[in-house]
Structure 1
Amino acid sequence: MDQQLQVFVTVAEKKNFTRAAEKLHMTQPAVSQYIRQLEEEIGTRLLERTNKYVRLNKAGEIVYHHAKEILGIYTKMQHLVDDLIHQTKGSLSIGASFTFGEYVLPQLIAQLRHTYPDIQASVLIGNTAKIADLVMAHQLDIGIVEGAFEGKQLKERKFAKDAMYIIASANHVLVKQEKVTQADLEKEMWIIREQGSGTREATISMLQDIGISPKEQMTFSSTQSIKQAVEAGLGITLLSKWAVQKELKAGDLKIIFVQGLPFYRSFSIITRSPFQTKALEVFVTLLENNDLYQSYYS
């Protein structure tokens, strides 16, 4: 069944029997046979086929969703068994929210690669909600997120702190102002992240903490686009200092110093399986003992 599911998932993702066969190093008739066998076992057709495309029908969408989860569990099981007799190696799927994934994680992956060259790490970056969902579905071995998320079956452990500041363009009037008041901040356009983002959650918490309610807000779906909007003078924002290090150094962006800031939030490790492969174990140790950021327990 696991081979049938692997073939089915590959066909669904490639949307083509020929391309799926090439990826799986199989013949096209063999791929077609696996799909027929799976459809017979499930009891219904799972794919719509034409000369131009292959796509999932409603039943196929259900099978695809659960097949991804089953294959993720199977892979993790195989790695755990392999760890009993082999050195630290194998695949490691890492998910991270944007701030950590874009500005901190690359250096950690480089360290991991240097120390454990036989670990094949793959990285997916998304907002906190998306990463939590993929860890829940066994499609990621570990997630690194900030902010709150739903998922009672997930194990969460805080491991690092993140300092966040109000950021503006270099020539913004509030940058040069000696004292910035609540009224000053309320008049500004605030550039914030989308729903499900840990940075958005931090921004809302910060605004509540300092007691202001901005009159105007604009939503962007990435930290990079927010930085560009702020640099262009569109408004102000709250961002991790990690995310604006280069711009601050270059003088393109500036910190608006406000009483009560920086705002601190925590980075958390989330996992679902109670078991850890050796690859995951050494990566978690690297996360918890690294000096790139401030430890949550310091």
Structure 2
Amino acid sequence: MLDTQLLVFKTVAEQKSFSGAARVLHMTQPAISIHIQNLEDYFGTRLLDRNNRHVSLTEAGRVLYHYAVELSRLYDEARKAVAEVTGKVKGKLVIGATLTIGEYLLPRIAGYFKQRYPEVDITLEIANTQEIVRRVLGHELDLGLVEGRVEHPDLIQQDIYQDELVVIVPPQHPWAERKEITLEDLRREPVILREKGSGTRQVAEEGLKKAGLDLCALKIAMELGSTQAIKEAVEAGLGVAIISRLAIKKESRNNLLREVRLQGVDFKRSLRVAYSRHKFRSPSAEAFLRLLLSKEAFSLLD
């Protein structure tokens, strides 16, 4: 029980709130409060100062936090050492992914990983790039798969897949039989974009800007937080859109959508795995990372 209480205490200290710790540990807030109260009773002193929004460590809390971090590191090393000796990869693995990766790339890879390591319980969580990075840095996620590059000294990023954005139109659109369109063509059409904070939008915006066209010069018809919603809006003739080629494989095969290139614009991008420099990677996280960095993982997409 003391081990659990120390883990809860360490997480509250790092998240600076009971609600944040509850989210990271997948516990209720009252349960977090009970663990902290029991730990304070055990040591006979207050460990945390509470106010309406945040908590902070008392002097005694700062001393205990140092030992909680060290004990957590030792437990992690012990688990990893035992896993290496036994060859067993098991436990929880929490992976975050942006919408495009989470819908069109990750499910097959996660399914393949689960077949190889059936004792690993995988949780997949979907959000935009900014939110995934925030949660990786907050140690809420073991690994994050993102589309846009984010600079942060505590973040390690590695390329895992080369993707490309394309302009999509319905089959009846005048561009449907064209291989390329110009920037001026794009300026005249209503355009449907992903929401701000999306990696797809970031890459589209950067590619257009390098070619000399700002987003504000486009006729933006709507901004949507779902790739599927964008595809359906394009199919309905509400505008054209710029999305990942990964996302339209099925629609291209069934002639529901057509893709065209934008002349003079480089929409190529690297999809990346991101993880915290300071978070211990469990054997299951290490195994998933190895799979992502291998060619084996992406042969599943062909």
Q: TM-score, normalised by structure 2?
A: 0.75
Which residue number corresponds to residue 255 of structure 2? 251
Asked if 2 retains the 8 angstrom alpha-carbon contact of 1:72 and 1:139, the reply is no
SS in 1 for 2:197: coil
The one-letter code matched in structure 1 to 2:219 is: E
Which residue number corresponds to residue 175 of structure 1? 176
Q: Using the aligned pairs only, state the percent identity.
A: 30
Q: How does 1:87-106 map to 2 (within 5 A)?
A: 87-106=88-107
Which residue number corresponds to residue 149 of structure 1? 150
Aligned pair 1:199/2:200, yes or no?
A: yes
- Determine the C-alpha separation between the residues in 1 that align with 2:100 and 2:183: 27
Which residue number corresponds to residue 218 of structure 2? 215
Q: CA deviation at 1:3?
A: 6.0
Aligned pair 1:111/2:112, yes or no?
A: yes
Which residue number corresponds to residue 286 of structure 1? 291
Q: CA deviation at 1:293?
A: 4.2
Query: What's the Cα RMSD here?
Result: 3.5
- Determine the C-alpha separation between the residues in 1 that align with 2:69 and 2:103: 25
The one-letter code matched in structure 1 to 2:293 is: E
Q: CA deviation at 1:159?
A: 2.2
User: After alignment, is 243-252 or 170-179 more displaced?
Assistant: 170-179
Deviations 1:53-93 (A, max 9, x none): xxxx3235x79xxxxxx999987763442121132111111
Q: CA deviation at 1:167?
A: 0.6
The one-letter code matched in structure 1 to 2:294 is: N
Q: CA deviation at 1:32?
A: 9.7
Query: Are residues 77 and 136 of structure 1, via their aligned partners in 2, closer, same or farther at CA, if it must alter by over 3 Å?
Result: farther
SS in 1 for 2:263: coil
- Determine the C-alpha separation between the residues in 2 that align with 1:154 and 1:112: 24
Aligned pair 1:189/2:190, yes or no?
A: yes
Which residue number corresponds to residue 167 of structure 2? 166
Q: CA deviation at 1:112?
A: 0.5
The one-letter code matched in structure 2 to 1:156 is: Q
Q: CA deviation at 1:131?
A: 0.9
Q: Give the counterpart of 1:271 among 272, 275, 284.
A: 275
Which residue number corresponds to residue 231 of structure 1? 235
Asked if 2 retains the 8 angstrom alpha-carbon contact of 1:193 and 1:199, the reply is yes
Q: CA deviation at 1:37?
A: 5.1
Deviations 1:72-126 (A, max 9, x none): 9987763442121132111111111111111100001111000111111111111
Aligned pair 1:81/2:78, yes or no?
A: yes
Which residue number corresponds to residue 128 of structure 2? 127
- Determine the C-alpha separation between the residues in 2 that align with 1:101 and 1:131: 11
- Determine the C-alpha separation between the residues in 1 that align with 2:8 and 2:136: 23
- Determine the C-alpha separation between the residues in 1 that align with 2:101 and 2:70: 26
Q: TM-score, normalised by structure 1?
A: 0.75
Asked if 2 retains the 8 angstrom alpha-carbon contact of 1:128 and 1:198, the reply is yes
Asked if 2 retains the 8 angstrom alpha-carbon contact of 1:89 and 1:278, the reply is yes
User: After alignment, is 72-81 or 191-200 more displaced?
Assistant: 72-81
User: After alignment, is 201-210 or 226-235 more displaced?
Assistant: 201-210
SS in 2 for 1:85: helix
- Determine the C-alpha separation between the residues in 2 that align with 1:97 and 1:74: 33
Structure 1: stretches of 5+ with no match in the other structure? 47-56, 64-69
SS in 1 for 2:107: helix
Query: Are residues 273 and 125 of structure 1, via their aligned partners in 2, closer, same or farther at CA, if it must alter by over 3 Å?
Result: same
Q: How does 1:6-85 map to 2 (within 5 A)?
A: 9-10=21-22, 17=30, 20=31, 34=38, 41-42=46-47, 44=49, 57-59=52-54, 78-85=75-82
- Determine the C-alpha separation between the residues in 2 that align with 1:130 and 1:42: 30
SS in 2 for 1:175: coil
